[in-house]
Chains A and B, each alone.
Chain A
C-alpha cells in the first residue's frame, strides 16, 4: 500500500497539509513571536529523515517583534535557493526548555522523487531495511 503516493517530505509541523501561503506563514510566525520564540531559517537539499541538521540561512533572529521581518528573510532564502527545502525553526529559550518549539517547511522543490526502500540480506535469512532518496544520488546542489 502506498501511504504517501506523491513522495512529499513530511517533516515538522503542517507537512501533511497543503503548502502554507505567506499569510498563513506570517500567522504562525507571529504566534511563535508572541510566545517569545526566536525564529531562524534553514535549508537543505538532502531530505533524508535522519538529516536533522540543516544549513543555517543567516543568523537566528532574536528580538524581533513582527512577522514581516522573518518573512523577509524567508523570501530572501527562497530567492537564493528556489529548489531547496527551506524550513522555519522556532527556538524556545525558556530555562529548562531550551529547545526547538516549532518547525515547519516553507519551501520545497517542485518535483520530489521520494525514497526507495533498500533491502539487504544478512546473516541467516535476516533482512535489513533502509531508505534511499532518489534525488540523493546526485551531488549536493544539483539534486533538484
Chain B
C-alpha cells in the first residue's frame, strides 16, 4: 500500500512546521514601506480627518492640538516600526472630561476614524455605552453583559459615557465594580484590539479616577473639553441652521447673540446642546407663526427664515425683562 501523500495531522512522525501566517490585515491601509511623515499622512489620509475636524468643529483648540499630538506620536511610531525599531503598541485609552454639550461624543467619533486610518484599530467603529449596558441587575449578570459589549467593540473604540456611574461608593456590593474589573483586564491584555474612551463631567470623573487608581493609571491621555464662548456658540448655531436649510432673518442674528449671552448665565446650560434646543424651539415658533396665516402663499424665503420674534418669545428673554 502506498504511503499517503498528505501529511496526517497530529501524527508524531510528521515534522512540525511552524505555521507563519500574516495576521488578518484586511481593512488596514498599507503603511509598510513609508519612510517620511508625509508618506504616512498621505497613505493613511489622516490629514483629511484633521481638516474635517478643523472645519466641522468650532473652537476646542486645546483638544484639537492634543489630538494632533497623539496622531503625531502614532505616525512616528509607524515610521519607527518600518525601519525595524522597537515600537510597542502605545496605550491609547483616553478620558474625555468636560461639561455637557462640549462635543465629547463627536470628537470620539473622529478619534475612532483617525485611529482607524493610522491602523491602530482594525475597524474604526464606535460603540457608545453607558452604565446600563455594562452593569447587570443581579449576581452573575454583569460579566456576560460587559463581555458582550466588549466583544462588539473589538476592533474599534468603546465609548463609555458618564463613566463615573460605574463606581458607586455608597453601595459596596454594587455590580459596577465587577464591570470595572473586566474592563481593566481587557484594557490591559487586548490593547491591540480595543481602545476605551471614558467620558464624563470633570469633577465627577476626577473622583472616579481617585477611587479607581487602576483605571487612572491605564489611561494615558486625559483630554479636557473647555466650555464654548458666546461667539463660538453663535458660529455653531449658524452651522446647525445651514445644515437644516434655515437662516437668520433681518436682526435675528443679533437677537440670538443676546439670547446666548443671557442663556449662558442661567443654570443647566449645556453648550452646543442648549443651542440646538433653542433653535428647535425657534423652528417650532416659526412653524406656528406661518401656520397662523392659512391663506398666505409661502415661498422658499418664508419657509427658511427665522425672524427675531421667533427668538424673542423665548423664556430667557421673558425672565430677563422681569428684573
Mark A residues whose CB is within 8 Å of B.
1, 5-6, 8, 16-19, 21, 23-24, 26-27, 30, 34, 58-59, 61, 63-70, 72-73, 112
Closest CB in chain A relative to B109 CB, distance in Å: 15
Determine which of A21, A23, A58, A68 lies in contact with B154 in the assembled complex, contact meaning CB atoms within 8 Å. Answer: A68
**Using Cβ atoms and an 8 Å threshold, which residues of chain A touch B1?**
1
Query: Does chain A have a CB within 8 A of B320?
Result: no
Chain B residues 1-22 with CB under 8 Å of chain A are 1, 6-11, 19, 21-22
Chain B residues 164-200 with CB under 8 Å of chain A are 190, 192-194
A21 vs B18: C-alpha distance in the bound complex, in angstroms? 10
**Known interface pairs A16-B9, A68-B154; 12 further A-B residue pairs with C-beta atoms within 8 A, sorted by A's residue number:** A19-B9, A21-B21, A23-B21, A26-B23, A27-B21, A30-B24, A65-B152, A65-B154, A66-B122, A69-B151, A70-B151, A72-B190
A24 vs B125: C-alpha distance in the bound complex, in angstroms? 23
Whether the Cβ atoms of A34 and B154 lie closer than 8 Å is: no
A112 vs B123: C-alpha distance in the bound complex, in angstroms? 39
Mark B residues whose CB is within 8 Å of A.
1, 6-11, 19, 21-24, 26, 122-123, 125, 144, 147-148, 150-156, 190, 192-194
**Using Cβ atoms and an 8 Å threshold, which residues of chain A touch B9?**
6, 8, 16-19
B125 to chain A: closest residue by CB = A65
Determine which of A1, A5, A8, A72 lies in contact with B151 in the assembled complex, contact meaning CB atoms within 8 Å. Answer: A72
Closest CB in chain B relative to A63 CB, distance in Å: 6
Whether the Cβ atoms of B154 and A18 lie closer than 8 Å is: no
Please count the residue pairs between chain A and chain B whose beta carbons lie under 8 angstroms apart in the complex. 80
**Using Cβ atoms and an 8 Å threshold, which residues of chain A touch B19?**
18, 21, 23-24
Whether the Cβ atoms of A58 and B144 lie closer than 8 Å is: yes
Whether the Cβ atoms of B8 and A30 lie closer than 8 Å is: no
Whether the Cβ atoms of B156 and A66 lie closer than 8 Å is: yes
Whether the Cβ atoms of B26 and A34 lie closer than 8 Å is: yes
Closest CB in chain B relative to A87 CB, distance in Å: 16
**Using Cβ atoms and an 8 Å threshold, which residues of chain A touch B152?**
63-65, 69
Whether the Cβ atoms of A26 and B24 lie closer than 8 Å is: yes
Whether the Cβ atoms of A61 and B26 lie closer than 8 Å is: no
B121 to chain A: closest residue by CB = A66
28 contacts between A and B (CB under 8 A): A5-B11, A6-B8, A6-B9, A6-B10, A8-B9, A19-B9, A21-B19, A21-B21, A23-B19, A23-B22, A23-B24, A26-B24, A30-B24, A34-B26, A63-B152, A66-B155, A66-B156, A67-B154, A68-B122, A68-B155, A68-B190, A69-B150, A69-B151, A69-B155, A72-B147, A72-B150, A72-B154, A72-B190
A16 vs B8: C-alpha distance in the bound complex, in angstroms? 8
Closest CB in chain A relative to B14 CB, distance in Å: 8
**Using Cβ atoms and an 8 Å threshold, which residues of chain A touch B193?**
66, 68-69
A6 vs B313: C-alpha distance in the bound complex, in angstroms? 85
A5 vs B10: C-alpha distance in the bound complex, in angstroms? 11
Whether the Cβ atoms of A18 and B123 lie closer than 8 Å is: no
A129 vs B180: C-alpha distance in the bound complex, in angstroms? 57
Whether the Cβ atoms of A65 and B144 lie closer than 8 Å is: no
B149 to chain A: closest residue by CB = A69
A102 vs B22: C-alpha distance in the bound complex, in angstroms? 22
